[in-house]
Structure 1
Amino acid sequence: MIAAAGLMAGSLVSGRPVSNDVTIPGTDAQRAHDLMRDGFGPGYAPGGTVQLVLYSDKGPLTDEPRKQAVERSMDKLRDLPHVKQVESPYRRGGIASNLQIGLIVVRMEGHDNAKIAETTQALSKAADPARALGIEVVPADSSTPADKEIKTGPSEIIGVLCALLVLVLAFGTLVAALIPIFTALVSVAAGLGVIGLLGHVVDVPKQAGIMATMIGLGVGIDYALFLLSRHRKLLADGVPVLESVRRTVSSSGGAVVFAGGTVIIALSALVLGGFPLLRTLGWITGISVVFAVLTSITLAPALLGVLGEKVNALKVPFLGRRREGSGGWAGLGAWVAKRPWSVLLASVLALGALAAPALALKLGPLDDGYGTQGSAPRRAYELMATGFGPGSNGPLVVVAELGNKVAKATDPIVEGLARDVGDIDGIAHVSPPKLNDAGRTVMIQAIPDYAPSDERAPAVVEAVRALDRPGVNVHVGGEVAALADAADRISGNTPLVIGVVVLLSAMLLLLAFRAPVVALKAALMNLVSLGAAFGALAIVFSYGVGSQLVGMDPPADASYLQTLFFTVPIEPYVPLMLFAVLFGLSMDYEVFLLTAVRQAYLKQTERRSSRRESDEGANEERSGRDHGHSDNRRAVAEGLGSTGRVITSAALIMVAVFVAFIAYPDPLVKTFGVGLAVAIAVDATIIRGFLVPATMVLLGRLNWWCPRWLDRLLPNLSVEGHEDDEEPQVWKSEPHVVSRS
């Protein structure tokens, strides 16, 4: 607690700098941006330009009183720090044909890109003279959705309150319910403190805080919940407090460490995605998981030891009377174990129906046209589209290298290049070419016919890049080009990321349970839950069913049908990020369920082995096989019965936390909220409650089979540890079955 408080205090005192740098080294768009910065100055590079959109509903902006007010605003803009150039709306192409919409372009130099929001606010304030005459001035957001600052709000509070309600219903006592909440809040505070301090050393994306909070709250509460459930069960069995805490940490604590390890491995694999933003988000989000594990195995046991028997204080009437392993989940476990084939078939059909819509998942850039209705970015977007066309919200920046030749603005090669760009299908307008001082780099702004989110926009980028003029190397930058390059890079590296995550997670499970079949099956089951998550995303965002329910606002001029089925593209890097997060979180439940089943199976098999030593008869071998199958069936039913209630409570907590974040106005957060909530709900019910137990019953003793050579190679690790002081028994009754470590 002291460490968490110190980290958070240090972060608050020293500030929490963030960076909107979304460079993608090695791409054509990045080359164009580098040439712009080097050849024309930082005012032309991404982050160096701020646009103010003007709108006069009372008359043309060219009327003398309004023109004077606009010019006074530009004078105030020029007096602000770091302003290098202010381009008038009365220049060529700066005012719309209706003369009511104009654009002031402010180019900055020497300012802090991490404070672009504050800079934009100051620039907008300088335009008050124009506002005084009734002119609407809206700052246009030139950043991509990946750059946007996501501010925290009441969603965290709502998520925590929902989690507290679930815990009260699960435990029936207020004190027990508060322990996971408290440990999770401490872990989140420590994680955010470290992330804030890291901002002084490395570039920390603005989404890092919100992602760390979402994942940190979910896993922090869940991990403490599993430990607390085990501790209360031991107390109910009459185990003394300190001994119960020791056994809890040695058994469930090991499962927490392994579960957290799978999440961290999945997030760390994002470094292979080829997208710097994705890579940074991965390892920074992993920090919150590390602190969730640390607080669960240190702070939570300390609280349990201090509270003693008072952990069950402040009981809520009529709640918490049922013991673990009794009631509905125990009955469900026995029911599934009796009819595994029927359950398997029904589960596969249900999951297939949930995953089928994923085939229509629409990926693409997410522009400000999908922002909250009435927000400044959405208003500026709509004004720009009305006055200058939809493509004005995502202009292409064509940068050409002329090699060693020094050219002039009037040279045929410069004018010809601008003419060639303007002749390309899909280009609506081309600005006059700009030549840098060295005469070796040409910059042309091209306005496409399509909005940045239009699926036809990337084809225009490729057409411009395909221009072939002798001695000229053409590069295309801008938001559309950068996002297209990012999508290509991510799609090319996606198979590698998926393969590494699945392989490493399966290897970790193999080390934990020494059972190759279980490890492989767990990885496949997690992929199934991902299919359901992507199917839900497709239904909500690609088909538009319920998009308004999650807060997506359709255009003001949309028809009734368009409003009812308002579709939203999903950023190309979102599925890969969701894959890593969901794969790790799904593995958590797999670890806890398998731990319970394995413990039950080993105990039953050891009891049977001791009985068989005194048995004699010709049918001994056959009887052993029959009993082995029966042991596995009972172990699966017992494991599901003992963990089902806890896993369901943990899943409800995560779902509540993720659903609460859907209330954020940012579409990116909404996407993550929907995907995470659906996947966890499906994983904890259909997959862990039905599909996994059914397959384990059908596989029988193959679940725990391990070749002798592999058994000798694997180190002696154990997820569940040992709960007593007796020497661990080595199970040698079946040569082909794993030894108990």
Structure 2
Amino acid sequence: MPTAAHATDVPLGWTARLGRRCAQHPRRVVAAWLLLAVVLGLLIGRFGPATTDDLTIPGADSQAAIDVSRAAFPDAPNPAQRIVVTADALTGAEQKAALDDAVTALETLPEVASATAPTARNGQLSDDGTIGTISVVLTVSGKDITRPLAEQLTSSVTDAVAEAGISVAPADQLAAVLDRETNRRAELIGLVAALVILLVAFGSVAAALLPLGTAIVGLAVSILALGLLGYAVDIPAVAPSLASMIGLGVGIDYALFGLNRFQRALVDGQDPVRAATTTTATAGRAVLFAGFSVIAALSGLALVGMPLMRSLAIASGLAVLVACVAAVTLLPAMLAWLGPRLATRKPESLGEAGGWARLARRVARRPWAVLLGSTVVLGLLAAPALDLRLGQLDAGSWPTSTEQRQSYDLLSDGFGPGANGPLLVTATYPSALSGPTDPAALALAKAVQGADGVAAVTPPQVSDDGLVVRLSAQPTTAPSDPATQDLVASLRSDVLPAAAPEAETHVGGFTAGKGDLTDRISSRMVLVVGAVVLVATLLLLVAFRAPIVALKAALMNLLSVGAAYGILVAVFTWGWGAGLLGLEAPVPIESYVPLLMFAVLFGLSTDYEVFVLTAVREEWVATGDGRASVASGMAKTGRVITSAALIMICVFLSFTMSSDPVIKMMGVGMAAAVAVDATIVRGLLVPSTMTLLGDWNWWLPAWLDRLLPHVHDPA
């Protein structure tokens, strides 16, 4: 039977030395963080944040179509942005004059290269003459379209046509930019909920405000830095919201865990500087392991081989990294600065009389029953995940109050649902064609026009060297309709090879790209999941030098994620409670959401495992009693885990107020996972399994002991 290795005095580790230095100079540390936030804020104010909705998928057929088109038509203008106009009749003399005035007003703007009013001849006017589009070609790319520019373009048209009874709705990237949210309301609600929970948990205003202040400073730094990072790499428009959600949640969690450890040190009689040093040496080290577990899990997304997933991982990882750095620098400085004012009014909650200790003792009396019951409940929660189907969202899934949804509905009514997601078709021939009227180019266009599911095709364009033909095809179905992806597959495998057997053909466009994204993620999901589980298990093994604990933690994390997937399917695919989230009907689950959720949630679940095991291991090292250390460790971490989980759930759920369905999915999924993890998994499964295993939790074979580094020695 394995035995405990009792603690011995060792020199201070680097985390303890860092914490002590910050605690000794708190004002300098706080000033440095605030100065960093101010400098980043000034830079963002000068240049603005940079995000993009471009989708790049190396090696995909849709990406090949884009690359061929850009290479063959290098002088082509930027893709046109559309402004939808509607009236009882757009063909009257007054309306035509107003639309011409709108075009003139647009062309006076320095960012506008050209603008075109709707006419029946150019295809920008609906058959009934009530809906049209003003086509605007900008001198800047979609990534550089700012909110002020989108507002200026929209207001220029609105001012010109208002007296003619014409309504205006921006579409495409203009609408996306105008709908882009700062999520300040969600963050504020999350912070208020966190403050209430902290006040109840600690009974002290100073103790309640400290985790919030630390998290807010860290979040500000990470979001501002992310905005500047967008100038170096493509950062998706959804990334700042995701980073805010994760950064705020883990920032409060990490500070809360440190505060809890600091208060225990004060109860033990340590002075504030020594208590802050002890906190950084123990809780700070646990936070670093927890944070880097999240970052390591996010790094697994790089295996998908897509810039989108890499950028989302970078954004989330940056928020977690800043939270970790704040936890071992800013937090000890604030702890030492505030000192005794942070002492809890409920010292008894730090001992063995708390509710978590009683729960652990009850579980210890009937561990098998608790283990089996908890497993059944988790299985029921995860059952809907068997119906998990990856798809893609379009603007039709957004609330009707958004610009994207309004223009989507108007375009669908006037030109058909496929107008919201045209396809790009390219064909590269071995020998030059004579021009757009070449029989080969006309045959290609005719074949695409005759394909089942195609509503309209633009005239073919031929490159200057005559080798490349491109055209745009409008499907009869919406971008999110599975029939549209069937059309893409049919064009690629049957229609285009038959129409141009001698040419190299590709089908692209945003809709085709989203389909390729789904296929790529589906093919790489097992690889990414395996890599994330392996890395997280190895990190836990290094942290606690206990293979059984590491493997068990990985398995329990999988159960938490499975339950979250089940709830995600029940809400968004089956529609249970979708109306409460502001959704009119069930929507497809965006293809990258489950994989991104897996990486984030596996890391966050590892967070709680690290927090619990750190306290349990401290007790086991001190006493050598494997069973008693479980109850004692849970008693010391129960309050902080309960508070942290409630805060994170509130933060995640507050983001469901976002108009973006993807943010709603992430909020619901992650809130559900944290709730399951902090209650069923941490409260029941962990103590029951650790009680059953006893001292075997910490068994370490001699050969593995020689291989593993010693990183968990007490400071």
- How high is the TM-score relative to the length of structure 2? 0.90
Tell me the equivalent position of 2:32: 3
CA separation in 1, counterparts of 2:455 and 2:50?
A: 36
CA offset at residue 203 of structure 1?
2.9
Which residue number corresponds to residue 581 of structure 1? 600
| Contact 2:615-2:637 at 8 Å conserved across structures | yes
Provide the residue aligned with 2:574 in structure 1: 543
Matches within 5 A, 1:450-465: 450-465=477-492
- Counterpart among 569, 590, 600 of residue 609 in structure 2: 590
Contact 1:170 1:320 in 2 (8 A): no
Whole-Å separation in 2 of the counterparts to 1:321 and 1:595: 21
Deviations 1:3-36 (A, max 9, x none): 3333322233222431313322222212222233
Q: Between Structure 1 and Structure 2, how many residues are aligned?
A: 676
* Change in 2 beyond 3 A, CA 1:421/1:44: farther
Output the amino acid matched with 2:51.
S
Residue 219 of structure 1 and its aligned partner are, at CA, apart by 1.1
How far apart are 1:717 and its partner, in Å? 1.5
SS state at 1:549 partner: helix
Q: Distance in 1 between matches of 2:380 and 2:32?
A: 48
Against the structure 1 CA distance between its residues 41 and 70, is the aligned structure 2 distance closer, same or farther, given a 3 Å change threshold? Answer: farther
Q: Quote the Cα distance in structure 2 between the aligned partners of 1:465 and 1:677.
A: 40
Instruction: Note the residue ranges of structure 1 that are not aligned, 5 or more in a row.
Output: 555-565, 606-630, 724-741
Percent identity between the two aligned chains: 45
C-alpha displacement of 1:342: 0.5
Secondary structure of 2:688 counterpart: helix
Moved more, 296-305 or 455-464: 296-305
Amino acid at match of 1:654: M
1:408: which partner in 2? 435
Deviation of 1:145 after TM superposition, in Å, equals 7.6
Q: Does 1:442 align with 2:469?
A: yes
Query: Would the alpha carbon gap of residues 42 and 177 (structure 1) be closer, same or farther in structure 2, given more than 3 Å must change?
Result: farther
Does residue 83 of structure 1 match 2:112? yes
Give deviations 1:642-679, integer Å, cap 9, x for gaps.
22221111101111111111111221211111111110
Whole-Å separation in 1 of the counterparts to 2:274 and 2:437: 87
Match of 2:711 in 1: 717
Q: Paired residue for 2:687? A: 693
1:666 alignment partner, one of 645, 660, 663? 660
Give the secondary structure class of the aligned counterpart of 1:548: helix
| 1:92 Cα deviation after fit | 4.2
Shift in alpha-carbon separation, 1:634–1:145, aligned structure 2, 3 A: farther
Partner of 2:697: 703
Q: Does 1:138 align with 2:130?
A: no
* 1:484 Cα offset (Å): 0.8
2:392 alignment partner AA: P
Aligned to 1:472: 503
Instruction: After TM superposition, give the deviation of residue 285 of structure 1 in Å.
Output: 1.9
What does the per-residue CA deviation read over 1:367-412, in whole Å, with 9 as the maximum and x for residues that have no partner?
1111121322111111111111111111112122223313322221
Contact preservation (8 Å) 2:211, 2:256: yes
1 or 2, which has the higher helix percentage?
A: 2
2:57 to 7, 24, 35: 24
Distance 1:112 1:377, change over 3 A: closer
Which amino acid is 1:19 matched to?
T
Alignment of 1:217-616 (within 5 A): 217-312=248-343, 322-466=349-493, 467-468=496-497, 469-552=500-583, 554=584, 566-605=585-624
Q: Alpha-carbon deviation of 1:302?
A: 1.9
C-alpha spacing 1:10/1:112, structure 2 compared with 1 (3 Å) = farther
Equivalent residue for 1:174, pick from 205, 213, 225: 205
Classify 1:276/1:143 alpha carbon distance in 2 versus 1 (closer, same or farther; 3 Å): farther
**2:55–2:513 Cα contact (<8 Å) kept:** no
Is the alpha carbon distance of 1:239 and 1:6 closer, same or farther for their aligned partners in structure 2, counting shifts above 3 Å? closer
Q: 1:142 to 1:307 in 2, by over 3 A?
A: closer
User: Shift of the alpha carbon at 1:540?
Assistant: 1.1
Task: Determine whether 1:637 maps to 2:627.
Answer: no
Partner of 2:66: 33
Q: Matched residues in 1 for 2:430 and 2:116: separation? A: 29
Moved more, 584-593 or 372-381: 372-381
Distance 1:320 1:154, change over 3 A: farther
Could you say which residue in structure 1 is the equivalent of 2:18? Answer: none
In structure 2, the CA distance between the partners of 1:340 and 1:550, relative to structure 1 (3 Å rule), is same
Q: Which residue of 1 aligns with 2:20?
A: none
8 Å CA contact 2:83–2:133 kept in 1: the answer is yes
Q: Report if the CA contact (8 A) 1:42-1:108 is conserved.
A: no
Deviation at 1:420, TM superposition (A): 0.6
Amino acid at match of 1:596: A
For 2:155, which of 125, 148, 155 is the aligned residue?
A: 125
Q: Deviations over 1:425-463 (max 9, x none)?
A: 111222222233333322222111210111221111111
The 3 A distance-change label for structure 1 pair 150 and 272 is farther
Partners of 1:481 and 1:392 in 2: how far apart? 14
CA distance in 2, matches of 1:688, 1:81: 59
Distance 2:367 2:442 in 1: 74
Counterpart residue identity of residue 211, structure 1: L
Q: CA RMSD in A?
A: 2.2
Letter in 2 for 1:387: G
1:642-661 to 2 correspondences below 5 Å: 642-661=636-655
Q: Is the 8 A contact 2:150 2:178 kept in 1?
A: no
* Aligned CA distance change for structure 1 residues 343 and 143 (closer, same or farther; 3 Å): farther
TM (norm. structure 1) is: 0.87
Corresponding residue number in structure 2 for 1:614: none
Q: Does 1:681 align with 2:669?
A: no
Match of 2:126 among 85, 88, 96: 96
The letter for the 1-side match of 2:448 is V
Contact 2:40 2:221 in 1 (8 A): no
Deviations 1:191-225 (A, max 9, x none): 22332332343333333322222211111111111
Map Cα deviations across residues 468-515 of structure 1 (whole Å, 9 max, x no partner): 123222211212111111112222222222111111111111111111
- Residue pair 2:432, 2:465 contacting (<8 A) in 1 also: no
- Determine which structure has more spread, i.e. the larger CA radius of gyration: 1
Quote the Cα distance in structure 2 between the aligned partners of 1:273 and 1:539. 26
- State the alpha-carbon separation in 2 of the partners of residues 283 and 126 from structure 1: 38
Q: Distance in 1 between matches of 2:77 and 2:64?
A: 14
Distance 1:536 1:673, change over 3 A: same
Measured after TM superposition, the shift of residue 245 of structure 1 is: 2.6
CA distance in 1, matches of 2:695, 2:176: 51
Per the TM alignment, residue 146 of structure 1 is displaced from its structure 2 partner at its CA by 11
> Is the 2:179–2:403 contact (alpha carbons within 8 Å) kept by the matching residues of 1?
no
Contact in 2 for aligned 1:171/1:320 (Cα 8 Å): no
**SS of corresponding position for 1:530:** helix
Alignment partner, residue 726 of structure 1: none
The Cα of 1:112 is off from its aligned counterpart by: 6.5
Shift of 1:586: 0.7
| Rounded Cα–Cα distance in structure 2 between residues aligned with 1:113 and 1:298 | 36
- 1:183/1:224 contact within 8 Å kept: yes
Q: Please tell me the residue identity of whatever aligns with 2:41.
A: L
